[in-house]
Amino acid sequence: MSGGPVVSVIVPGFNEAGNVATLFSKIDEGLAATGLPGETVFVDDGSVDDTWERVVAERDRRDNVRAFRHRRNLGLSEALNTGFRNLRGDLIVFLPADLQSDPAEDIPKLVSELQAGNDVVVGWRIGRREGKLFVSLVYNFLCRRLFGIDAHDLNWIKGFRREVIDTIHLRSDWHRYVVVLAAGKGFRVKEIRTNYYPRHSGTSKFGRKRILRGLLDLIVVKFEMSFRDKPMLLFGSWGLALLGLGVVLGLALVGQKLLTGTGSRPLLFLDMLIVMVGVQLLGLGFVAEQIASLREALRGRTGGGPTPAERGEVPPEGRS
């Protein structure tokens, strides 16, 4: 491909053998519609059916497909990280392998909005009626309230500029918050309406246990975005509050002793505990500030996380 790809389409998949052939044909249509040179980066996330064999067969028919494989199922976030590390284009499109998004329709839409100057483009599913709709509505409502993002469907297809991907590394199961993380770094986010189709083949990988995990991750992301660069704001505020409470309670105990000649030993011990915890929280705040400063100094010098070998990635077989 002369000059290299401009558009990279990343498709993670797990046990999607029945969708592979149609998926690649649709991606070819979508890339052709953009008028730009493009590539497909498929990440097989440890499938136990013949997804990998079918992907290899499709790759061998084309000169713009690269395929990577995890030895075991690591989850969507790790599959995306694998794709992000191996893409070559400046405009990145993420699509599911289940064909609930039509690549022929959605690739041109996402690329067009990226070319218009948006940093992140997220699709909004129109016509969705499946059972997990309520969970999605609650999740998106919480994200809008907590992070101030004006979007209705943060966990759907997305487009990114290369500089967005270069600044984000997803922790386990944080694929849900890639738009939130990008917006927190000041990137411009645009939402577009997209069609939503029934799954072409296979079964959904959504499970109820993901609901609790997603809720806990939501809390962690909020805390990290609020206090990661200023941990003293969290620890210091609580530390000073407890110290203030300890001082007030201590003065009250001294006043009680002077006025009545009696004291309360349990309250004295409680006051000592409150003061000690307050001092410890302030100390933690100072230590966390030093760690934050060190992290800032090291930022950009390492990609972080385990190496490809540690993740168990299998490099592309044959040509890439």
The pLDDT tens digits for 29-50 are 999 999 999 999 999 999 999 9
**Bigger pLDDT: 229 or 119?**
119
Q: Provide DSSP, 122-166.
A: EEEEES--STTHHHHHHHHHHHHHHH----S-TTS-EEEEHHHHT
Q: Which phi-psi region, left, alpha or beta, contains residue 57 (left: φ > 0; alpha: ψ -120 to 50)?
A: alpha
3-state helix, strand, coil in the chain (%, to 5): 55, 15, 35
**Is residue 31 within a helix (H) or strand (E), and if so which, with residue range?**
helix 20-34
Structure tokens that stand for 274 in this block: 């409150």
Radius of gyration of the chain (CA): 25
Residue 304 has pLDDT above 70, yes or no: no
So what's the pLDDT on residue 310?
A: 38
**pLDDT band (50, 70, 90) for residue 167:** confident
Q: For residue 194, is pLDDT > 90? A: yes
How does strand 158-161 pair with strand 120-126? antiparallel
Cα 156 to Cα 153: distance, rounded to the nearest angstrom: 6
Distance CA 80, CA 70 (A): 11
pTM: 0.72
The CA-atom distances, in angstroms, between 50 and each of 75, 85, 271 are 18, 25, 65
Coil, helix or strand at residue 101: coil
3-state secondary structure of 68: strand
**In which band, very low, low, confident or very high, does the pLDDT at 319 lie, cut at 50, 70 and 90?**
very low
99 neighbors 200 (Cβ within 8 angstroms) = yes
Contact predicate 40/83, CB 8 Å: no
User: How many residues appear in the chain?
Assistant: 320
DSSP β-ladder status, 38-45 and 65-70: parallel
Name the band, by pLDDT with cuts 50, 70 and 90, for residue 306. Answer: very low
pLDDT band at 316 (very low <50, low <70, confident <90, very high): low
47 sits in the region (left: phi over 0; alpha: psi -120 to 50; else beta) called beta
Q: What is the reported pLDDT for 207? A: 58
Average the pLDDT over 185-208 and give the result.
81
Residue 303, pLDDT above cutoff 70: no
What's the confidence (pLDDT) of residue 99?
92
Q: Taking all residues of the chain, what is their mean pLDDT, rounded to a whole number?
A: 84
Q: How many helices (H) and strands (E) does the chain have?
A: 11, 8
Q: What is the pLDDT of residues 234-261, one digit of tens each?
A: 788 888 999 999 999 989 888 888 888 7
Instruction: Give the tokens for residue 125.
Output: 């599913």
The answer to whether 211 and 262 have CB atoms below 8 angstroms apart is no
Residue 198 has a pLDDT of 81
C-alpha to C-alpha distance for 48 and 50, rounded to whole angstroms: 7
Residue 121: CB atoms within 10 A of its CB come to 26
Q: What pLDDT is attached to residue 129?
A: 66
The per-residue pLDDT for 293 is: 73
176: helix, coil or strand? helix
Q: Write out pLDDT tens, residues 64-101.
A: 999 999 999 998 889 999 999 999 999 999 999 999 99
